[in-house]
Amino acid sequence: MDEMIKVGMADLKVCPFPNAITTLGLGSCVGIAIYDPISKVGGLAHVMLPDSTQIRNNSNRAKFADTGIMDLIDLMVKAGATRNRLVAKIAGGAQMFAFSGQSDMVRIGARNVEASKLKLKELGVRLLAEDTGLNYGRTVEFYTETGDFIIKSVGKERKII
Amino acid sequence: MSKINLDEIDSLHYDVLKELGNIGAGNATTALSQLLNMKLDMKVPKVDLVGFDKLASSICDEEELVVAIYLMLEGDIEGSMMFMVEKKAATCLVNQLMGRPVHDDRDFDEMDLSALQEIGNIITGAYLSSLSTLTRLTIAASIPYMSIDMAAAILSVPAIEFGKIGDKALLIETQFGDEVLINGYFILIPELASYDKILASLGL
């Protein structure tokens, strides 16, 4: 590994081999790592909301699961990935506060996860693994050398998916 | 169309939001000082509209452990608000309340957690009641929800609420203390319609 590329909230980046890419402290947001195992081009999107068509102010495409995933894949293909080889791993979508009820706000983490999966499926990207839901934050790291997606949380064992 | 667009706010509206932040934070500090029975000095709060990409890093390390209290708001002002302190600072506050040495670094037990919840309740209550008095608007708050986790993960919750209307969040940083200085952060997230009500109530 040469470099650890950092992705912020409502942000996405391509990660060329042999680098790794990370986003710190995913809460209700979802981190979507996409990877071409042959060219070893990777990428990571950190999306906050499920659906750009539901929001009037939607110019920041990296903020939404639907447009974020689409843009990340386009950038990866430009960087040498082959579209029909792409696979994905996702993490995040937690419910950070124990709100009661079933309002949109309560379910936002779960909705982000559902929307991400739906978009991946629509674009023919196979979902290999996920670590989603529950009630704690996650820092994730994706390694293009191995395809490992590492998940770190407070007071929990490091997980590799 | 709402009068306020947080991404391109004019200076008058910005000053109003800033002032509401100042007054709220001032009242919250007074309430905390009474609860802890100690003198707390407060610096002038910093009020800023921060882009999501820098929201967590403008406060502390993204993975820093923080304690946060989150409330839903109903009534004339709808939306939510959050108060957040670093876990180290929260430990000092609880120690002070429980009569332990301030820098006693220990894990929270059940009692500490409910003390923290109460501290959060009083701080946010004082903040909201000053906002309510000033604007003569009714604000009813839900029970406080507490979470202890990485700063960025906690901040994703208010950021998502702001994300529905723009790309920035309104952050109010206050620093208070005596022998220990504590940084506390308020994030107020009214629905867009409520911004208009706040401004209208102030004659703007």
Chain B nearest CA to A85, separation (Å): 30
Q: Is B63 on the interface with A (CB under 8 A)?
A: yes
How far apart, in whole angstroms, are the C-alpha atoms of residue A62 and residue A81? 19
Which range, A11-20, B10-19, B194-203, is most confident?
A11-20
Strands A87-92 and A126-132: parallel
Best of A59, A97, A107, A139 to substitute, by most chain B Cβ atoms within 10 angstroms, is A97
Q: Is A58 on the interface with B (CB under 8 A)?
A: no
A30-59 mean pLDDT: 92
B56 is a domain residue: yes
B15 domain residue, yes or no: yes
Name the 3-class secondary structure at B152: helix
State the residue range of the domain holding B196. 6-201
The residue from A15, A20, A21, A29 that is catalytic is A29
Q: B150 in a domain, yes or no?
A: yes
8 Å CB contact of A96 and B65:
no
Q: Is the pLDDT of residue B1 over 50?
A: no
Give the pLDDT confidence of A45-60 residue by residue, as tens digits: 999 999 988 877 778 8
Phi and psi of A136, rounded to 5°?
A: -135, 160
Residue A106's SS3 state is coil
CATH number of B19's domain: 3.40.1550.10
Indicate the residue of B54, B62, B149 with minimum beta-carbon distance to A96. B149
Question: What is d(CA B127, CA A155) in angstroms, rounded to the nearest whole number?
Answer: 32
Domain that holds residue A101: 4-160
**CA–CA gap between residue B170 and residue A32 (Å, rounded):** 27
Residue with tokens 């929260």: B90
Interface predicted TM-score (ipTM): 0.90
* Nearest chain B residue to A152, by CA: B63
- Among A32-36, A153-157, B103-107, where is mean pLDDT lowest? B103-107
Per-residue pLDDT for B17 more than 60?
Answer: yes
A70 Cβ under 8 Å from any chain B Cβ = no
Whether A99 and B72 lie within 8 Å, measured CB to CB: yes
pLDDT tens-digit map of B147-198: 999 999 999 998 888 888 777 777 888 887 776 678 888 887 777 777 778 8
Most confident of the following: A40-49, A98-107, B81-90: A40-49
pTM as predicted: 0.88
Q: CB count, 10 Å around CB of B91?
A: 22
Backbone angles phi, psi at A130, to 5 degrees: -150, 150
Report the CATH number that the domain containing residue A44 is assigned in CATH. 3.30.1330.200
Q: Please judge whether A24 and B165 are an interchain contact, meaning their C-beta atoms are less than 8 angstroms apart.
A: no
> Is residue B96 included in any domain, yes or no?
yes
The mean pLDDT value for A101-130 works out to 90
Among the partner residues B53, B65, B154, nearest to A27 by beta-carbon distance: B154
The token pair at A64 is 């939404």
Nearest to A136 among B52, B149, B163 (CB): B149
Contact B150 A137 (CB under 8 A): yes
| Cα–Cα separations (whole angstroms), residue A6 to A3, A14, A101, B62 | 10, 10, 35, 12
Total structural domains in chain B? 1
